[in-house]
Amino acid sequence: MQREVVFTGIGGQGVQLAARTLAEAAMADRRRVQLFASYGGMMRGGNSDSFLVISDGPITAPPVVGSAWAAAILHHEHAGELWPKLGAESIAAVNSSVVDPARCPVEPGFDLVEIPALDIATELGSPVAASLVLVGALVARTNLVSADALLDSAASVLPSYRASAAAANRAALQAGLDLGEVTHPAWDLVAT
């Protein structure tokens, strides 16, 4: 079984960090992973997307996916191309601090999780960690990766010159994990 997760936002929101954090946690959980990053020509303000495939066996989908099981949507500006990739059984965590959930085109059966990620990250003193609050909330609802692996990845994904951000990033992930319980399990209970 494999799960495709897409991330979208604008440059500077931490889209790439969020995707890499989830990918590292999946590898720590001994799953197979493919990650593809895509971003516009601008470093800040342009589109930023990531495509992540996590599997308990060989990966059969390319990392740029035509359909997705889950999404993390940090900003609405470039999300238009993402919505058609999500089906009736999909789940999307939406940064409701920025994205108006009423404007999200969802199908019946679609699980739209509204998370005020930027507000929560700001309360934690680290607004740049909003993407990690969103990832934590997505994991809380799906068990896509273990909470321990996710929290441990907060430090392992950072370059040495950013190591001081590990504690704030871990706090943001924990805040997201604290926002819910499993409603959309990623894996069969017998598969680990």
DSSP string, 80-116: GGTGGGEEEEEEEEEETTTS-GGG----TT-EEEEE-
Rounded Cα–Cα distance for residues 28 and 152 (Å): 9
Residue 189 has pLDDT above 70, yes or no: no
Higher per-residue pLDDT: 163 or 146? 146
In a domain, 192, yes or no: no
Kindly indicate the confidence band of residue 59, based on its pLDDT and cuts at 50, 70 and 90: confident
Domain of 57: which CATH number?
A: 3.40.920.10
Element (H, E) at 37: strand 32-39
Residue 87 has pLDDT above 60, yes or no: yes
Lowest mean pLDDT among 15-19, 43-47, 77-81: 43-47
The pLDDT of residue 54 is 94
In a domain, 186, yes or no: no
Kindly indicate the confidence band of residue 104, based on its pLDDT and cuts at 50, 70 and 90: confident
In a domain, 185, yes or no: no
Rounded Cα–Cα distance for residues 180 and 1 (Å): 24
Burial letters 42-65, b for 16+ CB under 10 A, else e: eeeeebbbbbbbbbbeeeebebeb
Residue 101 has pLDDT above 90, yes or no: no
Question: Using one digit for the tens of pLDDT, what is the confidence trace for 115-150?
Answer: 999 999 999 999 999 999 999 999 999 999 999 999
Number of domains making up the chain: 1
In a domain, 182, yes or no: no
Report whether 138 contacts 127 (CB < 8 A). no
In a domain, 86, yes or no: yes
In a domain, 184, yes or no: no
Q: Domain of 84? A: 2-177
In a domain, 189, yes or no: no
Question: Using one digit for the tens of pLDDT, what is the confidence trace for 71-83?
Answer: 999 888 778 788 8
In a domain, 30, yes or no: yes
Report whether 144 contacts 191 (CB < 8 A). no
Report whether 70 contacts 3 (CB < 8 A). yes
